[in-house]
Amino acid sequence: MFKRIIVPLGFCTLLGACALNPPPVAAQAVSNQTVALQDATESPPGATPAVAVLQPGPTTTPDQLEDAEPELKVEETTPAEGTAPVETVAAPPSLPPCPTDGGELQNRIASYLCRRVRIEPLPTSIKVENRELRAQYLIPFYAQRDYRAAWLSAEGKPSSAVDDLLKALGEADRDGLRASDYQRSALQKLRGVLEQGNASTAEQLADADLLFTDAYLSYATHLLAGRLSPRKVDPDWTIKPRSRDLAAILQEALANDKVIASLRALAPQSKGYVQLRETLRRYRKIEQEGGWPVISAGSLASNASGSGAARTQGARAQALRLRLQASGDLDGGEAGKNAAYDKTVAGALRRFQRRHGLTETGTVNAATLAALNVPVSVRIRQIELNMERWRWLPDEFGSRYILVNIPSFRMSVIENGKPVIESNVVVGRQERQTPTFTANMAYLVLSPKWYVPRSIAIKDKLPQLRRNPYALAGQGIRVYNNAGQQINPGTVKWSAVGASNFNYQLRQDAGPRNALGGIKFMFPNPYNVYLHDTPSRSLFSRSQRTFSSGCIRISNPVELAEYLLKHDPKWSREAIKTAAASGKPRVVNLPQEVPVYLLYWTVWADENGEIQFRDDIYHRDTPLLRALYQDGEASGAKGA
């Protein structure tokens, strides 16, 4: 059982409201040398920053039986390498005893700090005036240092580490975070009070030390694993965040005078995150300078001379040049040469269109005009949201992995940091969204049958059967009863069948009409989502590709299969194509599992460093924005 301690802080009332909103997510797993408390809602102790692999639940309902293949022949290959052992955390050691309450100021402060954190049962929070501090981080930190103050000199004055902490908190906006979340202004005032010697008691000094420590650990947690728990906006999120022993990191930072560097090192170091941070800096500068020009609708003239209409059109062309220059699509030296809409501008416009997932026409159509006129402030928020999504991910995805970015409708196979295969994809419709998760691809099926999921059978196929009992026969779909016996669909009164009494199973034969095409790629997961071929090839030419029931259709399945089976000479491209068209299902295990990431980025940096923007197809940015900035203030605001 836990309890909360409430202790007044006299000088805090002089500073006004200095409550630090407790961050909503705990991010780190602590080592077995560290005293730790673990919230019930957090990842279990011992969580590592390795790829998080989802495994199917212990039971599978009929609705989940999308792809049972009981009769398939399994092609044996070299066994996959064993997985690394799971790291565990030892039980926390007993806390050191409190120092005696007396003697020098340092000792009295330590004694008071100990009485704040070393009680039975251990507290879940410590309240300083009207600010709640998270005891699960403060307890191990102070226990490791025998409760000695971390930020104060022997005389009770703030050390240089306090200045470094305040400077680091002032950099929060560079990572799309807010200094106000860590009460930087209030801590600056507190520093002044301490410097002037107005904190007269050991209790006041101890409370001040707790406030500085909590600010560091809160900011560190947000840099490490996000300001917001991903489950607040995605209840099914299971990807484990990065893990660090923050108490040990702070101890080392204080010992080596590296407070600022230690915090900077906690932010994601991946190239993609760093490029977003640089783009955020550049877009903030554009915003401070007044933003980019708005482009009016209408035609663009080749020059600005001539009639009034021609001059208006020329002004539009000049505004377009300046707009494209601001976003880096047009070289700065080209923007002011003249007001003409020429090949240079058309090329820059095609680059802009490519970066925004638009058809590359080189002309300002309605979709392009809308994208050009999105205010820079909106793009800044978009970048900040996707930096937060980066902080929810592991340190490394692995040397080889498959990445599907849902809003981009693209799949990439990455090997040693470089894309080796690219593919257009079709993802789930709005009402059947493709989920975000990671799992390991274990095998593929050539010439698969399709076991129609119950949900699809009821929502999509039952209405067809009601209209015509033999409608599915033309699609190669057979009807089975619960005993597994094939039945004549004409013998069933489908008008009397509904969701509650749909006691049938539907299976589509392998072949050219099969909804899965010739190949499916399996990475077992609770959602029964996978990659697969499709006979509906025309959909890949569309710019908006939300047509599936949640699975991912890929445009080049043979190329992906050839890549995955390249270790085995018998699986040549021709052999794969022959097996995929044979009508005989065949399972082929991969020699080594490949991590698959299904992610949702509406802004990212591609392999060439170009910043890509995409529409929020599932409307997931809005709830994330609302959750992050509930008070209406975004990270660009400085101060408190």
C-alpha of 348 from chain center: 30
pTM: 0.81
**CB-based contact 636:284 (threshold 8 Å):** yes
Query: Residues 270, 272, 275, CA angle at the centre, nearest 5°?
Result: 110
**CB-based contact 199:193 (threshold 8 Å):** yes
Residue 475 backbone dihedrals phi, psi, to 5 degrees? -100, 5
Residue 413 backbone dihedrals phi, psi, to 5 degrees? -100, 120
Residues 6+ apart with CB under 8 A from 325: 331, 332, 334, 335
Q: For 363-390, write each residue's pLDDT tens digit.
A: 999 999 999 999 999 999 999 999 999 9
H or E stretch at 522? strand 519-522
In the DSSP assignment, the letter for residue 201 is S
Cα within 13 Å of Cα(241), Cβ side: 30
Cα distance between residue 133 and residue 561, in whole Å: 52
Closest CA to 293 of 266, 313, 322, 273: 322
In the DSSP assignment, the letter for residue 374 is S
Cα distance between residue 311 and residue 481, in whole Å: 74
Q: Which amino acid is at 416?
A: N
DSSP string for 6-31: EE--HHHHHT-----PPPS----PPP
Q: In the numeric block, which tokens belong to residue 223?
A: 């840099």
Residue 564 backbone dihedrals phi, psi, to 5 degrees? -70, -30
Q: For 255-299, write each residue's pLDDT tens digit.
A: 999 999 999 999 999 999 999 999 999 999 999 999 999 998 876
318-335 CB burial, b ≥16 within 10 A, e <16: bbbbebbbbbbbbeeebb
Residue 181 backbone dihedrals phi, psi, to 5 degrees? -70, -20
The domains of the chain are located at: 5-36+95-266, 292-374, 450-508
Cα distance between residue 135 and residue 4, in whole Å: 9
Long-range contacts of 198-201 (CB under 8 A, 24+ apart): 198/11, 199/11, 199/156, 201/10
**CB-based contact 349:364 (threshold 8 Å):** yes
**CB-based contact 38:45 (threshold 8 Å):** yes
Cα distance between residue 327 and residue 325, in whole Å: 6
Question: Is 372 in a helix, a strand, or coil?
Answer: helix
- The confidence score (pLDDT) of residue 274 equals 97
Residue 421 backbone dihedrals phi, psi, to 5 degrees? -140, 135
Q: Which amino acid is at 61?
A: T
**CB-based contact 511:583 (threshold 8 Å):** yes
Altogether, the residues listed in the chain come to a count of 640
- Chain position carrying tokens 């893990």: 243
Q: In the numeric block, which tokens belong to residue 66?
A: 């999308």
- The confidence score (pLDDT) of residue 633 equals 57
- The confidence score (pLDDT) of residue 299 equals 65
Q: Give helix 202-225 / helix 246-255 axis angle, nearest 10°.
A: 120
Q: What is the mean pLDDT of each successive set of 10 residues along the chain, which is 640 residues long?
A: 40 35 35 34 34 35 36 42 38 72 88 87 82 87 94 94 97 95 94 86 94 96 94 88 93 97 96 96 96 85 51 78 94 64 91 95 94 97 97 94 97 95 96 95 96 92 95 94 93 94 94 93 95 95 93 97 95 96 95 96 94 96 89 51
Cα distance between residue 24 and residue 28, in whole Å: 13
Cα distance between residue 24 and residue 284, in whole Å: 27
Cα within 13 Å of Cα(267), Cβ side: 22
Q: In the numeric block, which tokens belong to residue 14?
A: 């002089």
Residues 6+ apart with CB under 8 A from 169: 179, 182, 184, 187, 215, 219
